[in-house]
Amino acid sequence: MSRDKQTEGLTQLGQSGTRYDFDYDPTLLETFGNRHGTRDYWVKFNCPEFTTLCPITGQPDFATLYISYIPDEKMVESKSLKLYLLSFRNHGDFHEDVINIIADDLIKLLAPRYLEVWGKFLPRGGISIDPYVNYGRAATKYERLAEERFKMHDLFAIDKVDNR
């Protein structure tokens, strides 16, 4: 796949004058073709400055998000992901809902082999919430991977993340 073909249709990458939306908008997400689709490999995004709003109080909630996936044919373009995550800035939803919304949007967009989203939210009111969701393509080794990672995701040092 040529570079031109790979980046065809991307509207945000390399553009000056980026417009930042602070209202949830999944249409900001863009993809490009996976040039290495014959092998499994991990892509991991760390977003240490994620912000959303409490749907009850309207107060900001801050988190570090970890998004990891094994791509199939499509990959998410990182600038579009950044703008998409920024679009949660004025979105009011509970932590658990936000993590599931992000996972659902990325699964719909990418049809990945495997995907996981983990939110490590800063404490508010003396308690922190760390929702985790994963997905593995049904009836494949990725479904089994999802089951194993789900059971083990918070038990080993490799997955221990402390942003507090």
Q: Return the percent helix, strand and coil in the chain, to nearest 5.
A: 30, 25, 45
Active-site annotation holder among 21, 40, 54, 130: 54
- Strands (DSSP E) contained in the chain are 31-33, 43-53, 60-70, 74-76, 114-121, 132-136
47 is catalytic: no
With the C-alpha atoms ordered 105, 109, 111, 113, is the resulting torsion angle positive or negative?
negative
159 is catalytic: no
**Cα–Cα distance between 150 and 114 in angstroms, integer?**
12
CA angle 109, 11, 119 (to 5 degrees): 45
**Cα–Cα distance between 154 and 107 in angstroms, integer?**
22
Count of C-beta atoms within a 10 Å radius of residue 110: 20
Give catalytic residues, as residue numbers. 54, 61
